[in-house]
Amino acid sequence: MAPSVSTARKKDEIKTVAMDAMRREAFQKLKQAVAEVKANSEDVGTKFPEEARKIHYGEADARGIIGQATAHEAQELIDEGIEIAALPVLPDDVN
């Protein structure tokens, strides 16, 4: 009996998965929700933790903000009682 050997041909094969209608609709709703959040928020970039604290402690006007934070920074905000949520990175965002 010959052993099963992985060939380069098998590694190069691309597997595709068709989305059923329900998954496609859910993905579209998620995409729309993320777009609405981005459209109605100020992008503060890497200053997100600083701006979130200012808003939380009343040092800046309340407004919707988006930006980047490290996992450590995000955990510190949560520990301080500042409500945050991560936006998903969708395939269209990286292509």
- Spatial separation of the C-alpha atoms in residues 90 and 95, rounded to whole Å: 9
Is residue 51 assigned to a domain? Answer: yes
pLDDT digits (tens, 9 = 90+) for 1-17: 556 665 655 555 555 56
Domain that holds residue 52: 43-87
CB atoms within 10 A of CB 88: 9
Is the pTM for the entire model greater than 0.85? Answer: no
Identify whether 83 is part of a domain.
yes
Model confidence over 28-71: pLDDT tens digits? Answer: 999 999 999 999 999 999 999 999 999 999 999 999 999 999 99
Q: How many CA atoms lie within 13 A of 57 on its CB side?
A: 9
**Quick check: is 66 in a domain?**
yes
Q: Compute the distance between CA of residue 6 and CA of residue 37 in angstroms, rounded to an integer.
A: 45
Backbone angles phi, psi at 19, to 5 degrees: -80, 135
The answer to which of 16-20, 49-53, 85-89 has the lowest mean pLDDT is 16-20
Total domains present in the chain = 1
The answer to whether the CB of 52 falls within 8 A of the CB of 82 is yes
Residue 7: inside a domain, yes or no?
no
Would 57 be classed as within a structural domain?
yes
